Amino acid sequence: MTYQVTDEDINKILNAKGEVRGVVFKTDRRFIYDKAGEEGIKKVEEELEKMNCPFNYEEEADNMSFYPIGMRALSIIAISKAFNLSKEEIAQMGKNAPKFSLMIKFFMRYFLSAEKIMEKAGEMWEKHYSSGRLEPVEMNIEERFIKARLYDIDLHPILCDYLIGYFSSVIKMGVGEETKGEELACVHKGDEYHEFLIKW
């Protein structure tokens, strides 16, 4: 297992303030189902139960409803545990997520250019999460990169890997070219914020 998750981590994650829309669990469910069918979903739900956070993806996940933000990280952790996923595979999971997210469909109209996505990035974050703040900090069209910072989100490094893939995928849809993402700063490494760099 690539990610270390202690009981202390789980408690911290569960007590995190804020909420997340159920659409993210719908997307997770789809990822699990495509990977391992109903058996896979059972496996992930068992992992969640082991973390004292039982969740039924089919019955409980509702696209527009809000859930404790910690569930976002715990769902990804449970998936990584159930399938023994590497950092790269978690990033790939993040890359696939916007392709099937209902919420992202609402934002399709902004997938016209890097500039437009930059302009709407914060709004897109707010539609998914009630806490945390996503702020674009730099964009250079000639050098083909975007930098954005995520403030006030301190859940687990697995979410950072997931978001690298997620942001790369969203930018790819906007610029129409292959992208590569990395995290330049991270609260789990002592920085005050997360900083993501997406190049194309």
Partner 1 sequence: MVNEEENKVKTLLEDISLLESYIQELFSFTPLPLCFVNPKGMVLEVNPAFVKATGYDEYDIVGENLKAFMKEGDAEKILKEVLEKDSVKGKETVIKKKGEGDIPVTTFAKSRKIKGEGVNGAFFSFFDLTQVKEKEIEVKETNKKLEEKMEEMEKINRLTIGREVKMVELKEEIENLKKELKKYKKEE
Q: What does the binding site for partner 1 look like in residue numbers (CB under 8 A)?
A: 34, 62-65, 95-96, 98-100, 102, 105, 108-109, 111-112, 169, 172-176
- Output 54 or 176, the one with its CB closest to partner 1: 176
Cα distance from N-terminal residue to C-terminal residue, the chain = 31
3-class secondary structure for 152-175?
CCCCCHHHHHHHHHHHHHHHHHHH
Residue 103: CB minimum distance to partner 1, A:
10
- Output 80 or 92, the one with its CB closest to partner 1: 92
- Output 13 or 24, the one with its CB closest to partner 1: 24
Residue 96: CB minimum distance to partner 1, A:
6
- Output 50 or 105, the one with its CB closest to partner 1: 105
Q: How many CB atoms lie within 10 A of CB 56?
A: 12
Residue 110: CB minimum distance to partner 1, A:
8
Say if residues 90 and 165 touch (Cβ distance below 8 Å).
yes
- Listed in sequence order, the DSSP H helices in 2-113 are 7-14, 23-50, 57-60, 70-83, 87-100, 102-106
Residue 182: CB minimum distance to partner 1, A:
19
